[in-house]
A and B are shown apart, each in its own frame.
Chain A
Amino acid sequence: MFNNLIFIILFMLGFYALVMKTNLIKNVIGLNIMEAAVFFWVISFSDIGGEVSIHKLGEKAAKFNDPVPQALTLTGIVIGASTAALLLTLIIELNKFSGTIDRDKIEGLND
């Protein structure tokens, strides 16, 4: 039950940063916190108290944790890093173009 609570707190923190902050870099940070919350929840959800899902030579483990959510989380982490890098690049370019990274103060995009 604790993992659900922590997931909700982290997810809502990230969502708050995404919605309420006007600094675009803080928005990216909020998006990453939301991602981290989802990954944490998927991993903790699949933990049934078994061993790490790696065989040891010569001995047979009684119970393994589920390997599939871990593999999917690895995929998600890589995608998250790529999108964060692309977003930060766009913010750098926006700063050069309009001189600000505050999304309420951007001007001149209509031209």
Chain B
Amino acid sequence: MNKLMKKTLSSVVLLGAAAALYQNFALMPNYQGLNEGLSNYIIKSGLTDTGSLNLITAVLYDYRAFDSLGESTVIFGAVSGIVLILSRKMLPVSSKGLSFIVKRTLGIMIPFIALFGLYIMTHGHLTPGGGFQGGVILAAISIIFSIVYGSAFDYRRYSPQTKTVLETGGAMIFLGLGLAGILLEGAFLKNLGFLTVETGTLISAGSIPYINIGVGFKVGAGLAIIFYSMIQKTFEEDF
């Protein structure tokens, strides 16, 4: 009875909050962000400013590149915290893996998954995608290794040391391009415009593709480390 009363009371409170929210939304003016200001400027001159066809990538890695640096620092902080909490021993605890058919099928598929991840990563300035998305696809490969082939296989093929090197290397690429911006163009993380050959080709948009590659490796390795440190503890009791 006590639980039922609690549920009824909280439902009433939530319904009241929902009604208040709906009332507030009804009072809001319609969207008029594109008439003037920031968004309109980016749509008008984003291509000539940055050379990136994808305007979202232009916002992320040129106009707000410093913000993206902070974002990848957040991922680094999360990875550091998780590894600090979870990994008291570095030895992998192996699961047996799945059946022979699954192993062979994924053995054929994994190179194509890697190629797709790299494509998404490097073409961030031309098509939808970018460093974060491609990095997540690359992290899926490590997760497939752990689930399908067992975590000992993942440890041998793609060891935690390699992942650490990849993550630090990605962050170093990002910071190095920022410092190169100071030296060559005069501001931190300013776009290196002289790297552009022709707008619309793969090597264009200044330093945006290189930042994408760095962020991709950083995010991919970071998520793989997170998954690895979680799985080696969860499977500990079974084997």
Contact = CB atoms under 8 A, between A and B. Distances in A.
B144 interface: no
A53 B55 contact: yes
Contacts of B217: none
A68 B42 contact: yes
B47 interface: yes
- Per DSSP, chain B at the interface is helix
A106 interface: no
Contacts, number: 111
A109 interface: no
Interface string B212-224: 0000000100010
B10 interface: yes
Nearest to A96: B233
A41 to B, nearest CB: 10
Interface of B: 6-7, 10-11, 14-15, 17-18, 21-22, 25, 31, 33-34, 38-39, 42-43, 46-47, 53-56, 58-60, 64, 67-68, 71, 74-75, 77-78, 81-82, 85-86, 127-128, 130, 132, 200, 219, 223, 226, 229-230, 233-234
17 contacts: A4-B25, A8-B25, A20-B6, A46-B33, A53-B55, A53-B56, A54-B53, A55-B53, A67-B42, A68-B38, A71-B60, A75-B60, A75-B67, A75-B71, A78-B74, A82-B78, A89-B230
